[in-house]
Homo-oligomer: A and B are copies of this chain.
Amino acid sequence: MRRVESELRVRYAESDQMGIVYYANYLVWMEVGRVDYCRELGFEYRDMEAQDACFLAVTKAVCEYRAPARFNDQIRVQTWVSESRSRTIEFSYEIRLAGDDRLLAKGQTAHMVCDRDGKTIRLPQKYRCYFPLTSGGE
């Protein structure tokens, strides 16, 4: 599976009083990874929502924290599609320190393809090429 890499620098706003990045912010970085993944493959996630009324609503998020990120650290997020079915997509992530490649966190987000009202739909055909089915069939 193709992996796409994002780079970002830790903001002061993302730190907490323990002096490390607050745990919820890793989910924001996963979002940055997903959006970059779409762009790298050839479309803007924004357009998928705006032009095709197709949303990837999160149904589950998992994050394992291995080592803390800190303010000003340069971070690398690797994103790939670990499962793709007709109505669901799962992304996986590895979050590393840019300098020494140390693994800081890893996780997955599961998504349901849905319309503007949150009703499950099949992924529109025009996006199927970006998300080939990973398990024969549905």
Contact = CB atoms under 8 A, between A and B. Distances in A.
Main secondary structure of the interface of A (DSSP, over half): mixed
* Interface bracket on A: 35 or more
Interface in A49-66: 49, 55, 57-65
A44 to B, nearest CB: 6
Nearest to A108: B62
Nearest to A15: B17
Nearest to A114: B18
Contact of A62 (B13, B44, B61, B68): B61
Interface in A106-125: 109, 118
Nearest to A18: B55
Given A17-B71, A60-B63, A61-B63, A12 B35 contact: yes
7 contacts: A12-B16, A12-B22, A17-B71, A23-B58, A24-B24, A57-B65, A59-B64
